[in-house]
Amino acid sequence: MIPKLRALPVRIHICLGVLLAMALASLLAGVIAPHDPVTIDIKNTLAPMSWDYPFGTDQLGRCLLSRCLYAIRLTFGVALLIALLTIAVGSAIGVTAAYLGGLADQIVRIVSDASLSIPSMIFVILIVGFLGPGTENIILAILLAQWVWYARVARGLALRITSYGYVRAAKLSGTGPVGIIVWHIFPGLVTQMVTQFTLLIGSTALSLAGFSFLGLGVQPPSAELGLMISDGCELIQTHAWMMFWPSLTLIIPVACLNVIGDYFSDYWRSKQ
Amino acid sequence: MTLRPSYPYPIGETGSPEAAALTGQPLALTGATMVVPTLEEAEEAIGPELRPGQGNVLSVKALSVDLLERSDRLTVVREASLEIGPREIVGLIGESGGGKSVFWRSLFGLLRGANWRVAGEAFLMGKPLNFTDEEASRKSRGREVGIVPQDPMGSFDPVRTIWNHFLETAQAHVDIPAQEIRAMAEDSLAKLYVDNPGRILDSYPFQCSGGTLQRAMVAISAMLGPALLIADEPTTSVDVTVRLEVLSLLKSLRERIGTSLLLISHDLKAVMSVADELNVMYGGYIVERIKTGDLVAGKAQHPYAKKLIKARPRFSRERLESIPGAPPSLRERQGERCPFLPRCDQSRPSCSDYAMEAFRVGQGHFVRCLLAKGEA
């Protein structure tokens, strides 16, 4: 089911290595970051790259390297949380709807069709508009905009699995709905959902940074990649590195996650 | 631990043939020295007077199943009655679409969708069955009645061991430790002539042969000691050699496990080789109920049943006789009239007024046909 680490192609090794290194660096940010990410140093604004400030400083004199390290933690940590919640909520609702059928299924279908008809960007802005910007609200908003896709995937898979002989046999021998869902349907979703999850972390990190960029997500002075890019955007003509470094920090892990997600989805498709 | 179905009769000494027969109790699963009485002993112990009456494992009285479709009410099964005595093998045969599956599924809450209406009475071991209470139906499936799924290969979850399937069924019904379930599972497999049950339990479905899986499936259905097993088309999806094996397996169930068996099939030859009694279903009616011996002796009276017997493949150069026409569709066979009339070559003018009441033509022999009226 899961390929051996040694059998993986080189590109996956590289991606995994990069991700691992960045994860470690961000988790150990408190130890390895040269400066405090939020301390303002007015005497040292917009400093160029130097040994003391490897990525330079921003318009408030904060060390960009330190801010990037902390920002990975925040952006990808929150993205991970949203992705987990999305997958969990989506598959739970999708599987339940598929298994129960009838009215429950109809309701889920109508709700998901309705929310799919609104572009998810607009949908998130709408929700944040109601709740006000902030980290918790953006988590909720992205979750509400995304679960539908995974509910549909899970529903489709669950419908297929429900028609399998072993689910019918389990019903015949008196296993209840909960037993059937937990024993037979969820295991069938795992491979698909793991792939989706890998790809979802990357895209969620991107949209989270995007909404922070727009001022709808994480609020300053937290170090968050979208916020940092937004700050850098204003000074792009004179101090391009202020935007360059956080952008790079965002792109690299997302690209790695996409490569890995693609590989696994191909791998499992070829296995079936 | 002994699992015993609730039975409305006093329980005698455990282990004696009488007690076993009365309680339907050959289901003592872990009792190693259980004496399993033969059918004759069991019949003797029960006494003939109990047989047709309430001593039955399953008795269905005038069961009708309707399908509501928009404004229509279509009758799929009409006034079907069926009795299965202790350790009896009863066959239900007929063409596809005749209502066989709907008949048994309606008894155990397995009809899908809310558009079904079930009327009539049914008793499982003297206890009335509630057709609408889904939870009660679920609890009786697997425990009081074992249902053998059709396809042995597809009925096992490929990512779980055989043991997990036993565990799942047991845990859906009883709250006992896993070691005891393990013992029950091994015992149940051993009774179906599976060598080395422990090894089979620990293997995955794809590591087992079709025959082994079939046995495992029956063993799961029989593990908790149901009084009745239902096998719907057990021979349809298997090849000819396995079919023989399945049939002898089902036949041995009575001796080995002591359950009654309801065998549903369109394969007359297969059912005849196993069953004590046959119920021929056509167009939603059970048109003839006959002992297998009588059927073999050519005592079948319903034209459809007679044709069915003639239509069995034989080793001869003669052309196989077939029944002209096609079975009526669900809409064509509404109303209380003979569904076989358009295809019947013995029909009389009075047939069109006949309201399908059943005539008793002999011991345990009922026919729904005007031709049988005079011979009652």
| Residue B44 and residue B142 in one domain | no
A141 within some domain: yes
B169 near A CB under 8 A = yes
**Structural contact between residues B92 and B60, judged by C-beta atoms closer than 8 angstroms:** no
The larger pLDDT score, comparing residue B260 to residue B52, is at B260
Residue ending a domain, choose from B259, B278, B297: B278
Query: Is residue B248 in some structural domain?
Result: yes
* Residue A56 counted as domain residue: no
The rounded percent of chain B whose pLDDT value lies above 90 is 13
Nearest to B308 by CA among B91, B61, B78: B91
Whether residue B87 sits in one domain with residue B210: yes
pLDDT band at A78 (very low <50, low <70, confident <90, very high): very high
Cβ pair A174:B155 closer than 8 A: no
Name the residue among A166, A168, A174 with its Cβ closest to that of B143: A174
For residue B342, is it within any domain? no
Picking from A168, A183, A188, the nearest residue to B149 by CB comes out as A168
Query: Quick check: A13 pLDDT over 90?
Result: yes
**Are B142 and A171 in contact (CB < 8 Å)?**
no
B321 in a structural domain: no
* Boundaries of domain holding B28: 1-51
| Residue A186 domain flag | yes
Q: Say if residue B34 is in the same domain as residue B168.
A: no
Residues B98 and B186 in one domain: yes
Q: Taking CB atoms and an 8 Å limit, are A172 and B168 in contact across chains?
A: no
Using CA coordinates, name the residue in chain B closest to A163.
Answer: B154
Contact A105, A98 (CB under 8 A): yes
Q: Which neighbouring-strand residues pair with B73? A: B68
B214 and B264 both lie in a single domain: yes
B319 occurs within a structural domain: no
Whether the CB of B136 is below 8 Å from some CB of chain A: the reply is no
Answer with the one of B254, B278, B302 that is the final residue of a domain: B278
Mean pLDDT score across all residues of chain A: 88
Residue-number span of the structural domain to which A109 is assigned: 12-23+63-271
State the pLDDT confidence band at B25, using cuts at 50, 70 and 90: very low
Helices (runs of H) and strands (runs of E) counted in chain A: 11, 0
Asked if the C-beta of B172 comes within 8 angstroms of chain A's C-beta atoms, the answer is: yes
* Residue range B339-349, pLDDT digits in tens: 888 888 888 88
Are B31 and B84 within one domain? Answer: no
Confidence band, pLDDT 50/70/90 cuts, at residue B13: very low
Token representation of residue A81: 């949380």
Q: Is B105 inside any structural domain?
A: yes
Report chain B residues whose CB lies below 8 A from the CB of A183. 157, 160, 164, 168
* Chain Cα centroid distance, residue B136: 20
In-domain check, residue A111: yes
Q: Is A109 on the interface with B (CB under 8 A)?
A: no
Residue at B295 is within a domain: no
pLDDT digits (tens, 9 = 90+) for B147-201: 988 778 888 988 889 999 999 999 888 888 999 999 999 988 888 888 889 999 9
Report if residue B306 sits inside a domain. Answer: no
CATH number for B232: 3.40.50.300
Is the peptide bond prior to B152 cis by the omega test (within 30 degrees of 0)? no
- pLDDT value of position A110: 92
ipTM reported for the complex surpasses 0.85: no
Tell me if A33 is assigned to some domain: no
pLDDT per position as a tens digit, A126-164: 999 999 888 899 999 999 999 999 999 999 999 999 888
8 Å CB contact of B172 and A172: no
Percent with pLDDT over 70 in chain A: 99
Q: Which chain A residue is nearest to residue B110, measuring alpha carbons? A: A172
Chain A residues lying within 8 Å of B171, measured CB to CB: 179
Domain count, chain B: 2
* Domains: count for chain A: 1
CA nearest neighbour of B356 among B266, B246, B282, B272 = B282
pLDDT of residue A68 exceeding 80, the answer is: yes
**Residue A1: per-residue pLDDT:** 60
Question: Residue A135 is part of a domain; what is its CATH number?
Answer: 1.10.3720.10
B145 CB-near residues (< 8 Å, 6+ apart): B58, B108, B124, B226, B227, B228, B229, B230
**Beta pairing partners, B82:** B60
Q: Does A184 touch chain B (CB under 8 A)?
A: yes
Contact B234, B246 (CB under 8 A): yes
Q: Strand order in B359-362's β-sheet?
A: B145-148, B228-232, B260-265, B89-94, B277-282, B285-291, B365-367, B359-362
Pick the more confident residue, A81 or B142. A81
A106 inside 8 A of chain B by CB = no
Of A172, A179, A188, the CB nearest to B147: A172
Contact A166/B168, CB-based, under 8 Å? no
Q: Is B318 helix (H, G, I), strand (E, B) or coil?
A: coil
Averaged pLDDT, B77-96 = 89
Q: CA nearest A82: which of A212, A227, A197, A254? A: A197
Q: Are residue B16 and residue B147 in the same domain, yes or no?
A: no
Asked whether the predicted pLDDT for residue A231 surpasses 70, the reply is: yes
